[in-house]
Structure formats: structure tokens, C-alpha cells
Chain A
């Protein structure tokens, strides 16, 4: 019986393959996009959701306001965790993990085993409680004691596999360029997405007090992430209150004891470990954190794409079945035959829907690598299906298949039920009574659906244009220095290299393509540290960003001097401090003129300011230009900057590799172009741009398909009327407009509704930048006009035949 229905269904679908194809394509694209977004959003919500007792784990962040400079940072002072441990109630354990710059992807750490050098993306330091709070699975070693002893290192299973292969890692000795460590544990990182980004962690007591220095007791030196796990039934809010009460007293003490006077308020806040990934407001935080608002927007987009694809599918199916019903004269059939018909239609839909799902999931599987590149993730369809929440996903898919099949199969039969001779189906409404008083109306619903789908489409397109414009704006923005053709080479930190560094510099610059070179400890685009300075009045101490650079730095980057002079090379025994400041620092310190004056640091260091440079954008454009003090140093350097001749990128590498290998047998060469590094600051935004471009295309395509379906419906219903109008002299244009008019109106309404929504969301996004383009009204008008045009074209494509053919096709003297 059912087999029979399916057989006939296949036959009919094959006969109408053009239509079947269109319908399947629309639905499967919609499902595919939905699945992609679903997997993406789901993956973001998996961050830090797997820790044991995660509702008791908090990260502590710091808000400080020192002499009227306010900052929100994810870091805390070193001393915080110790204080909590010894002075506060309600804590099960507390731990600190050192800051290491997660944005500095090129700054790989190295581990040496058996004289072979391995690179590890991120090695940090932590105290012995790290693995008490974060219950990573340990493949080897004991999580609780792994970081207790000095010179212990715990590595991820990936690192272990890279260095030791199949061998056991436990107890093995590995070196960095500074000291030797014993592997005390191997943890599994896979399957537990987290904002913690380390691949290896070293026990913090490997460093002695002396090396840590003032950091251990300075309440204003932010150096570590602090996490607490509270005891059961301890309220986070109360704990936060107690914490601040205690630390306020401590900080007051610290200020009184220090030489400089600081008017400061520091507030520590607890945030649930589950929320950390969604916090984008803090400095020195993981750059992979995402704003929940964007995920919400993505989720809404996904839901609407699926909804519109489904609606379109039903509409198209209905238009088709109605046409067929007319052909076979179903208008007069009743009762049992109608039920049979319903079964037939539903089996056809079931075939189509199932096919669409198979195609959609295949598409997802095939395009997954590309999508992963796009969103910088490692998603798998199978992985999602067989995960803990995969059952929900699977059930959702099955539910969709059946709902869609039944609705799209049954709806036409339902409509036909109203098509008794007395009732006339007209356009998109069904007139039940002869006098037009009682109306069964689906027009409102349809209008609502079309409008919603165009609200999404227009929003996507306007947003895409705005994002594009902003990215172009950032690209063309004058940063105040010239980053063109500047290569940045990461310098090894070991003494073996240090001793020969000058020879290395000489060799490497000895090439016609190298126009200039400079060394630096900091360069624009990388995270910088901050310190506090004052000029005369220690009451007026301010936080300034700090750069360490060698001579030539300003000339190479073409940063102009406003006053005073640049750094010059000095004899090795001259260790006096000299500073150059930027214009913003002048303003912050409230000084007209600084050249010749001394700048005094909170630790008591003092040096002369010899010059002022024009402001340059040394951080990303999310921030404005902060006050900056630049210290001279040609020894404490991490980077070598080379200004290269235009167009020599290919040839120069041979030279650089050659020189590098001569000097560094145990280090890999890491280099980047400054332009690339600067562009990478906006990686997330570029990612969003490409996602939006793709989504826009999908959404407008699906919406057009829907409009195509609706036009079909309309044309099926109004064939006779169109014929009459043509006979009466209606031109092709007037008939196209007649068909499209209502839809164009809806698109316009959608545009009017979409605009303020987009304005709100995009303003919010643009506000994350210190500089941004204006939201120009023309972007809105242009986008809406574009969508109107596409809508008109869509109706035209569907109506073309009807419009152009002779009126006898649809009407004659019968």
C-alpha cells in the first residue's frame, strides 16, 4: 500500500523534475545553512560547560580606577590568590595562571628534548591548584600533585604525542632555553573547549621570589588570572563582597607604604566560569571570546533561514498540487478519494523532504572543511550528532522531516476542501460566502511570512555592506606609521644567541633588499604592558603603556618627531634610562613640555625624556591611542624589524633563512609582515564579514525562491484575470507590476522594519572600534533598492511566460 504510494510519488516527481529540483535545492540549502549555524553556535556554548562543579567555579577580574584612569582587565595581581587562600572563608580552592599573550600567535615557545627542538603554541605558569579546579582528564600523572614541585611541567596529550610519540612522557626531562623540567602529567585537551589556552603549564614555584620580584606583593601589578572554587552553598555575591572588603584594606595599606601616592579604587568581580567565553569587555582576555548578542543574532538568522526555507517549500508544493488538482479535476472529488489524495501528496512530500535532508547533510559534510576555515573551528557533523546534546539535534532533524512532509502534503488538500463550487479561491484568500462577508483568509499570514523573510534578507545585506565598509575604512585608516614592507622576525631569547646577536644583525642586513633595520621589545599590533609614572608630583601618577625599542625604530616606521630628538646608539656601559613619549602621554600627564624633564616610575626608577613623537596607533583600532612611554633598549629585544624593498618578498627569504640557520640551530625562524599582523587584529571581524557575505547570498536566494513559489501560486490563481487584463490591453509592464506590486510593498515594509534593527545592532558593533565609519542612509536605501530589484526580477522570471504568451492561452471566448 505505502509502497505503492511511494512508487507513484517517485514517478510523479520524476515527471515534474524541474519543479522537484527547485524545491529540493531550496529546502536543502536552507537546512544546510541552518545546520552550519546550529553547529557553530552550539560549539560556542560548549565552552567551559564540562567542568565538574562548574557552578562553583569563578574567574576574578579587576576593575581599577587609578588617578582617574579606569580599566577593566581579566588579570589580577599575583598576590590576590594568596590573600584569598589565607584570609577568606568559603573557598574550596583558588589558583592562579600566568598571563601569556594569547594574541601573539607567532611567539611560539620552544621545548627541547634529546636535543631536538619542538614548538608549543603556549606555555604558561600556574600554581599547584590549577588541576584541582579544572578537572582535565589526566592520561598520565596525578592531577592534584602535578604542579606541586618546582620545575614540574604538565603537557597536553598533543604536545606529548609530538615529543614522545608512543612513549610514556611521565618523568621525562624536557628543557626550555632557560631551565630543565620534569614531566609530571599529561592532560587531554580534546573535547573540552575552554577559554584556557595553554598547551603546557609549568609550576610557578620554579621561579624564585627574586625573579618574581615586586610582582608578588604589588596590588597594582596585574600578572595572573585568578580562579576560585567556592565551597558548596556559598553565594558568589556575598563572597565578592567579603573579598573586596578584605582587599580594600590591603590595598590601602599597600598605597600607604609605597613611595608614591595613588588615589585608587580597585574592585574585584566574580564571574561564573560558564560566562567567561562570552565576556568581550576585558583587556588581556582570550581574543576568542564572543559576544552572546552575536550568537543570538546568528541563532535568529538560522531559525529564520530554516523557517523561510520551510515556508517556501510548502508554498511551492501547494502551488504545484493545486495546478495538478485542477488538471485532474479534483474539485469535485470528496471523502475517501480526498483521503487517498492526501496520502499520495504526503508520500510525495516525504520523498522530497527526505531527499532534501540527505542532500543538506551531505552538503554540510562536504563543505565542512571550508566552513571550519571560515569560522576557525574544528567542527564535525558526526561529532555533533554523537555528542551529549546530539540527540536533541537528531530529534530536531527527524521532527522537521515529518512536520514538513505532512504540512506540505496536507496543505493543498486542505485548500482544495474549500474549493467547492460555491467557494472561490482568489489570489491568496479564500472567499467562503458568495457575498464576500465571511472570508477564510490566509493573506495576513502569508504577508507576515514574506515580510519576515525579507526583514532577514535586508538586514543581512545592509549589515554586510556596513561591515565591509568598516573593514575598508580600517584598512585605509592612517595609523600614524608606515607598516608597508616591514618584516618582523622573532628573536631567540637564549644567551647563546644573545652573545652573537650583533653579528647576526650585521649579516642579515647585509643585503640590498634590506633598506633599514631596528630592534624592539614591542611593536604596534602586539599587546603591551603598562606601568605607572609621574613627573614632579607623585600625586599625579598615571598609567602609561610601555614600549622598549632600539635606535632606528621611529625612522623605520616613519613616526615623526615633534620635539627633542630620537634615540641614538650608546656605549654598552651606559645604562641610564632615556624616554621618548607620545603626544597622548603629554596630555595625560598634563604637561606642556616634557623634553629635558625626568619621568619617575612607581618603582622609583627615573629617566630623562629626550623627545616627543606624534601619536601612532600602537594597539588595535578597537582602542584609541593611549599614552605611551618608550624606553630605549637595544638589549632587551624580542623583535627584529626589517624594512624591505618593494616586491622582494620572494627572494629575500632565501637570504634570511640562510643567515638564520647559521646562527640558530635550535630555534625555528618565526617571522611575519607587520601588515599581516595588523590585519590579524581584526580576524574576528573579517570572519564575520565572510560569514555575512555567504549568509546574505543564501538568505536572498532562499527568499527569492519563496517569492518564486508565491508568484507561482498567485499566477495559478489569477491566470484568468491576467488573460482578461491582457485582452483589455494591459501591457506586459502593467501586468508584471500588478503581480509584483504587493510583494514590493512587503519588501519596502520589511526594509522599514529592518533598518532600525540593523542600525541598533551595527551601531553597537561599530562602537567596539575606537574609530568607525558613519552609518550612511544611502547604505540602507541602496540595500533596500537592491532587494526590491531582485524581488521584481524573481517575479518577472516566473511570470515572463504568462506575460509574453498570447492571451488565448489563459482566456478565450469560452
Chain B
């Protein structure tokens, strides 16, 4: 599904160059659940940004189903991203001005779904995530765990084959963390490929494969469960 080849990212700010990623080559198969682990500042987020087409690498190639994606224009990348990739962030990144319902609906609007189809799909996801009573509330009126459930709902509403999650439980207490992880596990079982960054061993236990990153390089890959 995903093959990266020597992905390298150098940040330049105020004359200082930071090598955030160094020739990362990674292979992800459909149905994988990969946990990326490593110390703070080792380049996990940078890697996720690259995989999510949010940023561009300094060097290296990225094939998504055989498509060389870094040769695409910004518009084509947006197109590819909204069809194929869902995002879950550590700090949720919900839009404060929109209700729970509207937040979840947003990707479908961008995909150009008809109102009726949107209504049905959003209702289905809201039901799945047990957010029925909260759909008219604003994000600020929700607890962290609820907000993250909304974020996951939004990420999967368009049924993307790939889900990227950056420390999805990082801002949650263990109870709510557990809740979110079990949802991700279920999604993976239903066929969604997931790449997740985490610090937590227990979270990593939900994955099938752990990639250890250090100083911008992959130092080893452990397969936890047979796949």
C-alpha cells in the first residue's frame, strides 16, 4: 500500500538546520496497524506529516498504491488526501466554531457528497461513536475523551483506507485512552490501515507492528502479531 524510499527532511529556521528525518524507508501493507515509537524530537510527527501529505520531504520518494505522490500538484495531493487519509491529532484539532455534527460532516462536504447521503453517513458514525446526545454541542463543551471520539469520527466518516494518528491518547486519561484505542482496534479489524505515533506501551499493544525511531532513523521494526 505504502512504500517510502529514503525519506529525508531538513528544517531550516533562522540559519539553523535540523535534520528531522534521515532516509526513512518504510513499507506498509493494507490492513496493517503500525505503532511508531521513539523519544521526543526523534521525528515521529515529521514522518506522519510526510505520510499524510501535509508536508514535503527534502529528499526521498513516497508511493501510495504505486502512485509517486510527491510529483503531484498541491491540488492533486489535496484530492488524494481527502479521499484516502483520515487524521487523528493529539490535541484533537476540532473546529471550535462548528458543532460536533458539523465537524464530522466537514470532510463529506469537501468530498462533495449530497446532503442526504451526508446526513445518513454522519448519523451512522455518530451512532457508532456513541455521540448521539452530543451532536449539537460545541467542542469546548465536551470532555477530552469525547472530543477525541469526535475527531476519530471525523477521520473515518469518509471511510478512508488509511488512518494516521499522532499520540491519540496523549491528552487523555487512561480510561478515555483505552476507549479511543479500542475504537482504533475495531476500525483496524474492519480493514482500515492505521499508522499511529505513541509513547505508551499499552497503546502500542493494539498494533501489529512497532517501528522504533531514533534521531530521525528507523532503528528496528517489531512484529507483534502475525499478519
Chain A residues packing against B (C-beta within 8 Å): 424, 426-427, 431, 434-436, 720-721, 724-732, 734, 804, 806-808, 811-814
**For this complex, into which size category does the number of interface residues on chain B fall?**
35 or more
Q: B residues within 8 A CB of A807?
A: 54-55
Determine if A812 and B140 form an interchain contact, defined as CB atoms under 8 angstroms apart: no
B96 touches A426 (CB 8 A): yes
User: Could you tell me if A730 and B45 are in contact, using CB atoms closer than 8 angstroms?
Assistant: no
Contacts of B167 in A (CB 8 A): 813
Q: Could you list 14 A-B pairs, sorted by A, with CB under 8 Å?
A: A424-B140, A435-B140, A724-B95, A727-B52, A727-B87, A729-B79, A729-B83, A731-B110, A806-B56, A806-B74, A807-B54, A813-B52, A814-B90, A814-B166
Cα–Cα distance between A434 and B55 once the two chains are bound (Å) = 33
**Could you tell me the distance between the alpha carbons of A211 and B54 in the complex, rounded to whole angstroms?**
98
Query: Is B140's CB under 8 angstroms from A728's CB?
Result: no
Alpha-carbon gap, A732 to B110, bound state (A) = 11
B97–A734 touching, CB < 8 Å: no
For residue B140, which residues in chain A have a CB less than 8 angstroms away from its CB?
Answer: 424, 431, 434-436
| CB nearest neighbor in A for B154 | A728
Contact B55 A436 (CB under 8 A): no
State in angstroms the CA–CA spacing of A431 and B96 once bound together. Answer: 11
- Nearest-neighbour CB distance to chain B for A71, whole angstroms, equals 66
Which B residues are CB-close (under 8 A) to A813? 45, 48-49, 52, 54, 87, 89-90, 164, 166-167, 197
Closest B residue, CB atoms, query A811: B93
A731 cross-chain contacts in B, Cβ below 8 A: 75, 78, 110
Instruction: Look across to chain B and name the residue whose beta carbon is closest to the beta carbon of A730.
Output: B110
Q: Chain B residue with minimal CB distance to A808?
A: B55
Per-residue CB proximity of B70-94 to A under 8 Å, as 1/0?
0000110011011100010111011
Taking A725-B95, A728-B87 as known contacts, 16 extra A-B pairs with beta carbons closer than 8 A to each other, sorted by chain A number, are A424-B140, A721-B97, A724-B95, A725-B106, A728-B110, A729-B78, A730-B78, A806-B56, A807-B54, A808-B49, A808-B55, A812-B49, A813-B49, A813-B54, A814-B90, A814-B91
With both beta carbons as reference points, the residue of chain A lying nearest to B48 in the complex is identified as A813
Contacts of B216 in A (CB 8 A): none
- B55 close to A806 (CB less than 8 A): yes
A812 pairs with B55, CB closer than 8 A:
yes
Chain A residues lying within 8 Å of B166, measured Cβ to Cβ, are 813-814
Task: Confirm or deny: B111 has a beta carbon within 8 angstroms of a beta carbon on chain A.
Answer: yes
Q: Which residues of B contact A427 (CB under 8 A)?
A: 97
Q: Are A435 and B49 in contact (CB under 8 A)?
A: no
Q: Is B141 an interface residue (CB 8 A)?
A: yes
**Cα–Cα, bound, A447→B83 (Å):** 37
Complex formed: what's the CA distance from A426 to B55 in Å? 26
Taking a contact as CB atoms closer than 8 A, the residue among B49, B83, B89, B97 that contacts A426 in the complex is B97
Q: How far is the CA of A720 from the CA of B91 in the complex (A)?
A: 12
CA distance A65 to B96 in the complex (A): 74
Known A-B contacts A436-B141, A725-B95, A814-B45; A808 and B110 likewise in contact (beta carbons under 8 Å): no
Distance from A548 Cβ to chain B, minimum over Cβ atoms (Å): 79
Prevailing SS type, chain B contact patch: mixed
Per the bound structure, the CA–CA distance linking A812 and B51 in Å amounts to: 12
Q: Does B107 contact A (CB under 8 A)?
A: yes
List chain A residues, Cβ under 8 A from B78: 726, 729-731
> Nearest chain-A residue to B44 (Cβ)?
A813
Smallest CB gap from A431: residue in B: B140
A728 contacts which of B79, B107, B197 (Cβ < 8 Å)? Answer: B107
Residues in A with CB closer than 8 Å to B206 are none
Q: Given the complex of chains A and B, what is the CA–CA distance between A813 and B166 in angstroms?
A: 6
Question: What residues on B are CB-neighbors of A804 within 8 Å?
Answer: 74
Is B138 part of the contact surface with A, judged by Cβ < 8 Å? yes
Set of chain B residues within 8 Å of A729, measured between Cβ atoms:
78-79, 81-83, 107, 110-111
Given the complex, which residues of A lie within 8 Å of B111, measured CB to CB?
A: 729
A804 — nearest CB in chain B belongs to which residue?
A: B74
A810 and chain B: residue at smallest CB distance: B54
Interface residues of B in 87-146 (CB under 8 A from A): 87, 89-91, 93-97, 106-107, 110-111, 138, 140-141
Decide if B54 touches A808 in the complex (CB within 8 Å): yes
- Whether A435 contacts B141 by the Cβ 8 Å rule is yes
Q: In the bound complex, how far is the Cα of B87 from the Cα of A811, in angstroms?
A: 12
Return the chain A residue nearest B81 by Cβ: A729
A332 CA to B166 CA, complexed, in Å = 27
Establish whether residues B81 and A727, one from each chain, have CB atoms under 8 Å apart when the complex forms: yes
Assess the B54–A811 pair: CB atoms within 8 A: yes
User: Closest Cβ of chain B: how far from A424's Cβ, in Å?
Assistant: 7
Q: How far is the CA of A431 from the CA of B138 in the complex (A)?
A: 13
Complex contacts, A728 vs chain B, CB 8 Å? 82, 87, 106-107, 110, 154
Cα–Cα distance between A732 and B73 once the two chains are bound (Å) = 13
- Chain A residues lying within 8 Å of B96, measured Cβ to Cβ, are 424, 426, 721
Give A811 to B55 CA distance when docked, in angstroms: 10
CB distance from B170 to the nearest CB of A (A): 10
With A and B bound together, what is the CA distance between A734 and B75 in angstroms?
A: 12
Q: How far is the CB of B112 from chain A (nearest CB, A)?
A: 10
Residue of B nearest to A726 (CB): B78
B54 touches A727 (CB 8 A): yes
B87: A residues at CB distance < 8 A: 727-728, 813
- Please name the residue on chain A nearest to B164 by beta carbon: A813
Chain A hits for B81, CB < 8 A: 727, 729
Chain A's nearest CB lies how many Å from the CB of B43? 11
Give the distance in Å from the alpha carbon of A725 to the alpha carbon of B111 in the complex.
Answer: 12
Q: Once bound together, how far apart are the Cα atoms of A614 and B223, in whole Å?
A: 105
Residues of B within 8 A of A812 (CB): 45, 49, 54-55
Interface residues of B in 38-70 (CB under 8 A from A): 45, 48-49, 52, 54-56
Residues of A near B197 (CB, < 8 A) are 813
Give the distance to chain B from A716, nearest Cβ to Cβ, in Å: 15
Cβ of B180 to closest chain A Cβ, rounded Å: 16
Q: How far is the CA of A734 from the CA of B93 in the complex (A)?
A: 19
Chain B residue nearest to A731 in the complex (CB): B78
Instruction: Collect the chain A residues with CB atoms within 8 Å of residue B48's CB.
Output: 813
Residues of chain A within 8 A (CB-CB) of B75 are 731-732
Could you tell me which residues of chain B, from 147 to 171, have a CB within 8 Å of some CB in chain A? Answer: 154, 164, 166-167
A-B residue pairs, 6 tightest by C-beta? A729-B82, A813-B166, A808-B55, A729-B110, A813-B45, A808-B54
Q: A729-B110, A808-B49, A813-B45 are in contact. Are A724 and B93 (CB under 8 A)?
A: yes
A745 to chain B, nearest CB (A): 16
Asked if B138 and A436 sit within 8 Å, CB to CB, the answer is yes
Inter-chain CA distance A730–B75, complex, in Å, is: 10
In the bound complex, what is the Cα–Cα distance between A371 and B98 (angstroms)?
52
Determine which of A426, A434, A720, A734 lies in contact with B110 in the assembled complex, contact meaning CB atoms within 8 Å.
A734
List B contacts of A721 (CB < 8 A).
Answer: 95-97
- Distance between Cα atoms of A434 and B78 in the complex (Å): 34
A806 (CB) vs chain B CBs: closest residue: B55
Distance between A433 CB and nearest chain B CB, rounded to angstroms: 9
Q: For the complex, what is the distance from the CA of A435 to the CA of B139, rounded to whole Å?
A: 10
- Let me know if A720 and B56 touch, CB within 8 A: no
Q: List A contacts of B94 (CB < 8 A).
A: 724
Interface string of B152-194 (1 = CB under 8 A from A): 0010000000001011000000000000000000000000000
Contact A720-B93, Cβ < 8 Å, known A435-B140, A728-B107, A728-B110: yes
Minimum C-beta distance from A343 to chain B (A): 28
Closest beta carbon of chain A to B18's beta carbon, Å:
14
Interfacial chain B residues near A435, Cβ < 8 Å = 140-141
Q: For residue A434, which residues in chain B have a CB less than 8 angstroms away from its CB?
A: 140
Query: Once the chains are docked, how many angstroms separate the CA of A730 from the CA of B112?
Result: 11
Least CB distance, A804 to chain B, in whole angstroms: 7
Closest to B107 in A: A728
Chain A residue at minimal CB-CB distance from B110: A729
| Docked CA distance A729–B138 (Å) | 22
| Residues of chain A within 8 A of B138, CB atoms compared | 436
CA distance A701 to B74 in the complex (A): 32
Distance (whole angstroms) from the CB of B168 to the closest CB of chain A: 10
Give the residues in chain B near A720, CB-CB below 8 Å: 93
Whole-angstrom distance between the alpha carbons of A727 and B151 in the complex? 13
- Give min CB distance, A275 to chain B, whole Å: 56
Closest approach, in angstroms, between the C-beta of A717 and any C-beta of chain B? Answer: 11
- Shortest CB-to-CB span from A586 to chain B, Å, is 72
Q: Shortest beta-carbon distance, B91 to chain A, in Å?
A: 7
